[in-house]
Structure formats: structure tokens, C-alpha cells
Structure 1
Amino acid sequence: MFDHDDVRTAQEITQQPRVWRDAGEMVRARRTAIDAFLARHADARIVLTGSGTSAFIGRIAAPALTRATGRRVDAVAATDIVSAPCAAFAENVPTVLVSFARSGRSPESVAATELADQLLTDVHHVIITCDVTGDLYRRHSARADDLVLVTPDGTNDAGFAMTSSFSSMLLVALLVFAPRGDEAVAALASAGEWALNDGGTLPAELAATGFARVVYLGSGPLTGLAQESALKLLELTAGRIVGMFDSPLGFRHGPKSILDDDTLVVVFVSADPYTRQYDLDLLGELVATAGAHRVVAVSAEPVAVDGATVWTLPGVAGLDDAALALPYAVFAQSLALGQSLRLGLTPDNPFPSGDVNRVVQGVTIHRLDAAPTAS
């Protein structure tokens, strides 16, 4: 899809089907150790954390893992843990803290694990990272009862925006806590290849159109993907194109005011038959709403809504929404990259001034002196 071989971000987007297959093989190779860790902590609360895009991985995975495991799984951003740790860990219960981190070097990522150790009597860590030289990897790989998993080679994205690091860490989490067969990973990888080739025509067309704002909508796990998609657009266009996210039901409660002639609306359609009804209702409403905004449905199954453009992934019908988030993300990443290139920006470094950095800088971590209040 992309002819810009010198753009690392483009390469990192296009490598995703391959690294998804590699991630599946990595988890399979570590299955014995993974299952032993999970068995030792079978009754623990699971908290999924990370900063920025890494936090959105948790937001996508948590509803799916709660449903698949029947366990309590919460998504709490590392930034929220650091700023209000006694609220995040108000209950002193056995906890598994799952930290997602591309580099493992952001100050909040390290501080979140330290605060968990400080406030909780019984806490163990799962580190899912792309960098074996990062602080999280180094600190936790030496701890006897922590589980450290490294995504495949090449996923420590060199570009500014997280792309293959995001999707590979998400896939690892899903495979760890809700194992699925090799055929599911193969289907996702094949769908990703289609999204980059035949399916890449639509994102390229939309990028060339030059919308001033893009709204991403999704329900359940796909709300987290909508949030990540909006961020990807903001990052790669240096904020020159407005990205917004919401759920289909929430969008009616005021945010729908954003619609105008320069707005593109993308609805990530749920695979859940019940939830899907609400997505289709909103799609029908959106195409009937006055204005020249364009409406796109991204779906794993055919969608029949007159007036909406439908982007249908082949071969993944029957997979759950958290898994579908991987090839769905390719659509959003491709659109964001296309917009960035159209604007004449440098996607690998859209902020040459250094105002926004690949690894967050300037954060002061304040010491928590108060005694733990959890009970």
C-alpha cells in the first residue's frame, strides 16, 4: 500500500501480519511457564496498565478477558495509578499487575509497578514489553515470581507512533489470558494482509479526500480501539487533523455536535450480535443526518446500511471484538499515515521541535510517604 520505503512507520504498519504470527509462536513456546504463573495466582484481581497507547491496550482487552475468564479484570492507566495510587489500589487484595510498555522507560510505567509493590501486600507482575533493555524488563526479569514476555523482534517501533508494538502487545495479552487456537492467529494475520493490500484502497482514498476531523466509534472493547485510532491520527498529523472517539450510544449525548461537512465518521462494528444492533442503529442514523459528512463501517461481516461505505474484513467472522481490534487498527493506522503524508509531514517524527516526544519526558514522580490506606 505504501511506496515510502524510507518511512519507518510505514514499514512498522506493514510488518504486523508477520509479527502477529511470531507473537503466537512466542506465547506457544512459553505456554508452560505462563500456565504455571496463572495457576499460582488464579484468584487474583487482574489490573491492565500502561501509558498512552499502552493504556488503551488494557481498555480493549479488559472487557474481553473478563468475559473469557470470569475473573475481575480492570484497566487502569499508569498515569492514573501514579497520580492517585490509593484510589487505584484501594483494596488490598491479591493482584496481578499487567504492564504494557513499548520501551519500558516511561517514568509512569516504572512508578506504577513500584506503587503497587508499596501499597499491596500480595502483588505479582506480568510485563509485556518490546524492549529487553528497558527498565521494566530489567527490573522484573530478575524477580522469581514475575512473568516477563517480550514481543517479536522489530516490534519496538522506531517511529514516533506505536503501531506494531500496540497490536503485538495486545495479541500477546489475549493469548496469555484467553488462549485461542493457531487458526485464530492465522486468520488475523491473513486479514491484516488483506487490509494492507486490497483493503488498503479505502484508507488511501479517504486520506486523499482531506477531512478536517475524524470521529471513531466503537462499543465494548472497540471503544478502546476508537480511542487509540483517534490518538494515532492526532499524533501522525501533529494535531492538524482533529481525532475524536466515543461509543455509538454515547455519541448521541452531545458529541454528535461535531458533525459537519469536513467530518469523517468511522464505526467499528461489533461482532457481538446484541451489541451490533446498536452499531447498526447509529449507522442508519448517521447516514440520515443532514450534512456532507462521510460514514464508514469497519466490520468482520457484511453490513447493509444504505449510504454507508463498508470495509469488510474477510475470514475473521466469529472472532471476538478484542481480536478484531488488530486488523481493524490497520485501517486506522493506514488512514493516519496517509493523512500525515498528504500534509507533507514526517510521520516518523511529526514533532521535530521536540514539543511531544516518543518517550514521555518532563514527568516528576513524587514520593508517596503516606501509609497504605487499602484494607
Structure 2
Amino acid sequence: MTGDVWTAREIAQQPDVWRTLAGSLAADRPRIDAFLAPLLAGDDLRIVLTGAGTSAFAGQILAPGLSRALRRRVDAVATTDLVSNPREHLAEDLPTLLVSFARSGDSPESLAAVGLADELLSEAWHLVLTCNPDGRLYRTMSEPGAGNRSLALLMPEGTNDHGFAMTSSVTSMVLAALTVLGAEPDVALLADVAAAVLPDLAKRARTLAEGRADRFVYLGSGPLTGLARESALKLLELTAGRVVSYFDSSLGFRHGPKSVLNDATVAFVYLSNDPHTRRYDLDIARELCETLPDGHVITIGCRDDAGEETWSFPGLHDLPDAVVAPALLLAAQQVALATSRALGLDPDNPFPAQEVNRVVKGVSIHALER
């Protein structure tokens, strides 16, 4: 299958994939609980969410929400940071659960991060969420020799995206982490709402792409800041860098980054479900409406009270932001897909000369000097 097929299919399949994921995790619950329950019972356990690129942004979406749900310390640290600066990010020798997100499990930093945690920490456990049964990370962490210090969970078939950009892989891993770590997402509701809004999102994204905007900004607060970062990356990847994309927090954007705006900018503001946080998101949306042309400020959220240019996910307004983030991400995926097509690119392979690769290459892992 070639030529602008896989990415569209992998975006559209997500509601079905999420339902399959919920069933597989429920069936595997005894094994999951046997591994995680003793760890989560410890008051001093530090949870570190790690991955590279989109997989790192999954951790940034999850960390604030999991901290709130679990009432414990949860840090998002990219493997790219952990591998280059391990003594800074693993400075405290605390009991640590390293949660690794990896679509392929073949990125050089993935196994290196696991090894560094084992080397620098007295007590390290590993939860691996991946989409590739043949990846080095999954095979290594599933071996009998890994003992009782690791649990590797495989996402449903089809989530090891064939397309260049991560789509169904990242949303599945986020929902899996929320489920197994105790945030209890209503996956069935998310899937039903996502399936209902996907056709409208695709239509809106195509209309937007016809306007040929050359700058996009994504803003959000808390877990939705990580979502904004992933949204900006999707657009950058699928347009091969021909469209400038930027992300920030709703409050942080005024402190200099607002300089990126021009009359050709489209700004998306993710609206929090938290009443307090939502006020700040609405403030920046209103401010941007005074700056940008009509129709260039779009809010994405779970209520219909933010004006005509709201892309809404009705029925999810009572859920935490980290839980609704996978559904909201569908909007950004559709925008990236439609914009790539409008530019005449192949979203499945936006870099035919392989200037950027689906699985990163060229990384040398250096041994930690004593």
C-alpha cells in the first residue's frame, strides 16, 4: 500500500483501536496489577515518563494529569535528555518506575535510557508501552532474564504506524498509560465521541487547508501544553517543514513567542476542562481574535461556549484534560494531513529523500564515564 493511504487510515482507525486496547488491557489486568500494585503502594516511588519525539510528548501530556490523579511525583523526561544528561535527570537515587513509550522500540535512545536507569539507580523498574513486537526494546524487556523488574505491554495490531508520523501509536500508548497507572479513562466514551466527530474534523481541516496559511500556532495549558507541542510537530512533519508551526502554553505565549504572529497565522487554542484553567485559555483566545483576521483563531474543546470557531468534542467536558487529550489530538492530525495534501505532498512519506527518517538514524550512544 503506497501513496497517501496509510496516514489517513491510521488516523481514522483510532476509535476502533482504542476499544481493542481497552479489552486487551482488561484481560491482562491480573499480570499488570501483580507488577504495578506493589510499586504504586510505595510513597517514595518516582515515576519517570520517557520517550523521544512524539513519544516524549506523550509523557508531557500525561505527567501533570497523572500527578494529580495519583497524588505523587511524576516527571516527563525525554530519552534524548536522559541519555545525554543522565546524572542530572537521575540525580536522586529514589525507587523509580521508568515508563518507556516507543512506537518501534528501535530508536537508539530507548534501550540506552533503560540501561542508564539500571546503572545509576539502586531500585529501578521498567514499564514499556510499545507498538512493535519485533522492536529491540520489546524483545529485550520481555526476555525471561528481565525478571520481575520489567513489564512490556504491546499495543493492538495496526498501531505500529506505517505512515511517517505517529498517530494511532501515540494515542494508544497515552490511553494505555492512563489505564494501567490508575487514572481510569472512559475509553468507550472517548472512542464513541471520536468516531462521531472524525468526519466533521476532516471536513473542517480540508477547508482550513484551502486557505494556505503558512504559520500555525498551537496553545494549551497543563496536559494540553504537551498536546500543543505534539500538534505542532505533526504539522511540521507532514508538511516537510514547509509550514511553520509553533507551540506554547496559553499564559506563556505572551512572553515573547507571540512575536511569531502575522496575518497568515492560524492559531489553535486547546480549552481545558478545568474551570480555573479554562479562563486563561479563553483569555488568550479572545486576545488573539483582536490580533488575527476573522476565522484565524480556532478553539478546540469539549464545550460549545467559546464561539463559532470551536471544534467541539461534546460529552467529554467532565473528564480530566489528560484523558481527553487523545481525542483532541485527532483535530491536529486531520489538520496536518489536509495541509500536507494541499501542498501536494505524500503524508505517508513527506521526506522521499530521507532527510528525516521514520525511525531515527545516526545516533551514537556513548558509555557513561566514571
TM range (shorter): over 0.9
Residue matched to 2:139: 138
| Residues 5 and 11 in structure 1, CA contact (< 8 A), matched pair in contact too | no
Root-mean-square deviation over aligned CA pairs: 1.4
* Structure 2 counterparts to residues 327-342 of structure 1, below 5 A: 327-342=327-342
Residue matched to 1:148: 152
Q: Distance in 1 between matches of 2:271 and 2:82?
A: 31
Instruction: After TM superposition, give the deviation of residue 110 of structure 1 in Å.
Output: 1.0
Q: Distance in 2 between matches of 1:26 and 1:93?
A: 32
Amino acid at match of 2:259: S
Q: Distance in 2 between matches of 1:304 and 1:36?
A: 45
| Residues 21 and 189 in structure 1, CA contact (< 8 A), matched pair in contact too | yes
SS of 2:169's equivalent in the other structure is helix
Amino acid at match of 2:363: V
Q: Distance in 2 between matches of 1:197 and 1:340?
A: 18
| Residues 216 and 227 in structure 1, CA contact (< 8 A), matched pair in contact too | yes
Q: Distance in 1 between matches of 2:292 and 2:162?
A: 42
Residue matched to 1:289: 291
Aligned length: 363
* Structure 2 counterparts to residues 105-184 of structure 1, below 5 A: 105-142=106-143, 143-145=146-148, 146-180=150-184, 184=186
Q: 1:290 to 1:151 in 2, by over 3 A?
A: closer
Instruction: After TM superposition, give the deviation of residue 195 of structure 1 in Å.
Output: 2.7
Q: Distance in 2 between matches of 1:283 and 1:57?
A: 24
- Which of residues 212, 215, 235 is equivalent to 1:213? 215
TM-score using structure 2 length:
0.95
Listed one character per residue, the Cα deviations across residues 310-354 of structure 1 (whole Å, up to 9, x for unaligned) are: 111122121111111111111000000001111111111111111
| Residues 80 and 109 in structure 2, CA contact (< 8 A), matched pair in contact too | yes
Q: 1:293 to 1:197 in 2, by over 3 A?
A: closer
Instruction: After TM superposition, give the deviation of residue 290 of structure 1 in Å.
Output: 5.5
Instruction: After TM superposition, give the deviation of residue 178 of structure 1 in Å.
Output: 2.3
Q: Distance in 2 between matches of 1:100 and 1:148?
A: 10
Residue matched to 1:346: 346
Q: Distance in 1 between matches of 2:289 and 2:249?
A: 17
Q: Distance in 1 between matches of 2:287 and 2:311?
A: 18
Q: 1:281 to 1:148 in 2, by over 3 A?
A: same
Residue matched to 1:237: 239
* Structure 2 counterparts to residues 187-336 of structure 1, below 5 A: 187-289=189-291, 291=293, 294-305=296-307, 309-336=309-336
Listed one character per residue, the Cα deviations across residues 89-144 of structure 1 (whole Å, up to 9, x for unaligned) are: 00111100000000100001111001111111110100000011111111111222
SS of 1:41's equivalent in the other structure is helix
Amino acid at match of 1:240: R
Q: Which moved more, 1:285-294 or 1:86-95?
A: 285-294
SS of 2:109's equivalent in the other structure is helix
Residue matched to 2:365: 365
Q: 1:344 to 1:290 in 2, by over 3 A?
A: closer
Amino acid at match of 1:147: L
Amino acid at match of 1:15: Q
TM-score using structure 1 length:
0.94
Q: Distance in 2 between matches of 1:304 and 1:265?
A: 14
Structure 2 gaps, min length 5: none
Q: 1:195 to 1:160 in 2, by over 3 A?
A: same
Residue matched to 2:12: 14
Instruction: After TM superposition, give the deviation of residue 293 of structure 1 in Å.
Output: 7.0
